[in-house]
A and B are shown apart, each in its own frame.
Chain A
Amino acid sequence: MTTRELQPLSDVNRRDFLKFLGGGLLVCLSPISSVAQESGRAFGGHELPADISAWIHIDPDGHVKVFTGKVEVGQNIRTSLAQAVAEELRAPFNSITMIMGDTDLVPWDMGTFGSRTTPTMAPQLRNMAVAGRELLLEMAAQRWNTDASKLIADSGRIKTSDGVKSITYGELTRGENLVKSVAGDPQLTPATEWKIAGSPVPKANGRDFVTGKHQFPSDIVRPGMLFGAVLRAEGYNAKLESIDTSAAEKLPGVKVVRDGDFTGVVADDAFTAQQAVAAIKAKWTIPDQPSNQGLFEYLKSNPDGHSNPEHQSGSVTDAFSAADVKLECQYTIEYIAHTPLEPRAAVAEWEDGKLTVWTGTQRPFGVHEELMRTFQLSPKQARVIQPDMGSGYGGKHTGEAAIEASRLARAAGKPVKVVWTREEEFTWAYFRPAGLAEIKSAARRDGALVSWEFHNYNSGPAAIGTPYEVSNQLIQFHPAKSPLRQGSYRGLAATFNHFARESNMDEMAHALKMDPLAFRLKNITNPRLRAVLQAAADKFRWTGTKSGPDRGIGMACGTDKGGFVATCAEVSIDPSTKKVRILRVVQAWECGAIVNPDGLRNQVQGALVQGIGGALFERILFSKGRVENPRFSKYRVPRFSDTPKVEIVLLDRKDLPSAGAGETGIVGIAPAIGNAIFAATGTRLRHMPLTPDGDAVRT
Chain B
Amino acid sequence: MSKFHLQINGKNYPVDAPQDETLLSVLRNRLNLTGTKYGCGEGQCGACTVLMDGAATRSCSVPAAAAAGAKITTIEGLEEDGKLTPVQEAFLEEGAYQCGYCTSGMIMSATSLLRDNHAPSEEQIVTAMNGNVCRCGTYPRILNAIKRASGQDAGGAR
Interfacial residues, chain A to chain B (CB-CB below 8 A): 73-76, 200, 202-203, 206-207, 209-216, 218-219, 221, 227, 269-272, 339-343, 388-391, 393, 419, 421-422, 598-599, 601-603, 605-610, 612, 631-633, 637-641, 643, 645-646
User: Would you give the shortest CB distance from A499 to chain B, in whole angstroms?
Assistant: 18
A391 and B95 within 8 A (CB): no
A216 to B45, CA, bound (A): 17
Ordered by A's residue number, 25 sampled pairs between the chains whose C-beta atoms are within 8 Å are A74-B98, A74-B101, A76-B98, A202-B92, A209-B100, A210-B84, A210-B97, A211-B35, A211-B75, A216-B101, A219-B28, A271-B22, A271-B25, A271-B29, A341-B45, A342-B99, A389-B99, A391-B101, A422-B39, A602-B158, A612-B137, A633-B42, A637-B133, A640-B126, A643-B137
User: Would you give the shortest CB distance from B90 to chain A, in whole angstroms?
Assistant: 9
A76 to B141, CA, bound (A): 15
A212 and B84 within 8 A (CB): no
B135 and A203 within 8 A (CB): no
A653 to B45, CA, bound (A): 39
User: Would you give the shortest CB distance from B61 to chain A, in whole angstroms?
Assistant: 12
A598 to B103, CA, bound (A): 18
A212 and B101 within 8 A (CB): no
Closest chain A residue, CB of each to CB of B106: A210
Q: Which among B28, B44, B92, B137 is the interface contact of A606 at CB below 8 angstroms?
A: B137
A342 and B137 within 8 A (CB): no
Q: Which among A202, A269, A632 is the interface contact of B44 at CB below 8 angstroms?
A: A632
Given A605-B157, A631-B42: A221 and B103 interface contact (C-beta under 8 Å): no
Known pairs A271-B18, A390-B101, A609-B137 / 10 extra A-B pairs, C-beta < 8 Å: A202-B95, A203-B95, A210-B92, A212-B35, A391-B135, A610-B137, A631-B44, A640-B125, A640-B126, A641-B127
B99 and A646 within 8 A (CB): no
A607 to B138, CA, bound (A): 9
Q: Find the residue from B88, B134, B158 having the highest chain A CB count within 10 A.
A: B134
A218 to B132, CA, bound (A): 19
B29 and A270 within 8 A (CB): yes
Determine the chain A residues whose CB is within 8 A of the CB of B98 once the complex forms: 74-76, 391, 602-603, 606
A563 to B98, CA, bound (A): 20
Given A212-B35, A632-B44, A639-B130: A339 and B135 interface contact (C-beta under 8 Å): yes
User: Would you give the shortest CB distance from B86 to chain A, in whole angstroms?
Assistant: 11
Determine the chain A residues whose CB is within 8 A of the CB of B132 once the complex forms: 640
A410 to B126, CA, bound (A): 47
B130 and A641 within 8 A (CB): yes
A212 and B135 within 8 A (CB): no
B158 and A211 within 8 A (CB): no
Main secondary structure of the interface of A (DSSP, over half): loop
- Tell me whether B52 is interfacial, beta carbon within 8 Å: no
Determine the chain B residues whose CB is within 8 A of the CB of A391 once the complex forms: 98-99, 101, 135-136
- Tell me whether B56 is interfacial, beta carbon within 8 Å: no
A646 and B100 within 8 A (CB): no
Closest chain B residue, CB of each to CB of A269: B29
B29 and A341 within 8 A (CB): no
B41 and A421 within 8 A (CB): yes
Closest chain A residue, CB of each to CB of B125: A640
Determine the chain A residues whose CB is within 8 A of the CB of B37 once the complex forms: 216, 218, 341-342, 390
A341 and B30 within 8 A (CB): no
Q: Which among B34, B40, B126, B143 is the interface contact of A632 at CB below 8 angstroms?
A: B40
A632 to B30, CA, bound (A): 26
Closest chain A residue, CB of each to CB of B108: A212
A603 to B107, CA, bound (A): 21
Determine the chain B residues whose CB is within 8 A of the CB of A393 once the complex forms: 135
Q: Find the residue from B75, B84, B136, B157 having the highest chain A CB count within 10 A.
A: B136
Determine the chain A residues whose CB is within 8 A of the CB of B91 once the complex forms: 209-210
Determine the chain B residues whose CB is within 8 A of the CB of A421 once the complex forms: 41
User: Would you give the shortest CB distance from B81 to chain A, in whole angstroms?
Assistant: 13
User: Would you give the shortest CB distance from A158 to chain B, in whole angstroms?
Assistant: 33
Task: Give 10 nearest A-B pairs by CB, closest first.
Answer: A212-B35, A74-B99, A609-B137, A390-B101, A209-B100, A212-B75, A632-B44, A219-B34, A74-B98, A606-B137
Closest chain A residue, CB of each to CB of B87: A210
- Tell me whether B17 is interfacial, beta carbon within 8 Å: yes
Given A389-B99, A641-B130: A271 and B107 interface contact (C-beta under 8 Å): no
B34 and A215 within 8 A (CB): yes
A342 to B78, CA, bound (A): 22
Closest chain A residue, CB of each to CB of B136: A606
B29 and A390 within 8 A (CB): no
Determine the chain A residues whose CB is within 8 A of the CB of B129 once the complex forms: 640
Determine the chain B residues whose CB is within 8 A of the CB of A213 once the complex forms: 35, 76
Given A270-B25, A606-B138, A632-B40: A211 and B143 interface contact (C-beta under 8 Å): no
Closest chain A residue, CB of each to CB of B102: A341
Q: Find the residue from A211, A215, A342 having the highest chain B CB count within 10 A.
A: A211
User: Would you give the shortest CB distance from A225 to chain B, in whole angstroms?
Assistant: 10
A270 to B28, CA, bound (A): 10
Determine the chain A residues whose CB is within 8 A of the CB of B84 once the complex forms: 207, 210-211
B29 and A610 within 8 A (CB): no
A608 to B38, CA, bound (A): 25
Which residues in window 110-146 of B have CB below 8 A to A?
125-127, 129-130, 132-143
Closest chain B residue, CB of each to CB of A207: B92
Closest chain A residue, CB of each to CB of B43: A633
Q: Which among A202, A210, A218, A422 is the interface contact of B103 at CB below 8 angstroms?
A: A210
User: Would you give the shortest CB distance from B47 to chain A, in whole angstroms?
Assistant: 6
Q: Which among B88, B95, B102 is the interface contact of A598 at CB below 8 angstroms?
A: B95
A212 to B95, CA, bound (A): 15
A269 and B99 within 8 A (CB): no
User: Would you give the shortest CB distance from B149 to chain A, in whole angstroms?
Assistant: 11
Q: Which among A207, A211, A340, A646 is the interface contact of B135 at CB below 8 angstroms?
A: A340
A114 to B125, CA, bound (A): 35
User: Would you give the shortest CB distance from B35 to chain A, in whole angstroms?
Assistant: 2
A419 and B30 within 8 A (CB): no
A422 to B99, CA, bound (A): 18
Which residues in window 59-76 of B have CB below 8 A to A?
74-76
Determine the chain B residues whose CB is within 8 A of the CB of A422 once the complex forms: 39-42
User: Would you give the shortest CB distance from B125 to chain A, in whole angstroms?
Assistant: 8
- Tell me whether B53 is interfacial, beta carbon within 8 Å: no
Q: Find the residue from A210, A211, A609 having the highest chain B CB count within 10 A.
A: A210
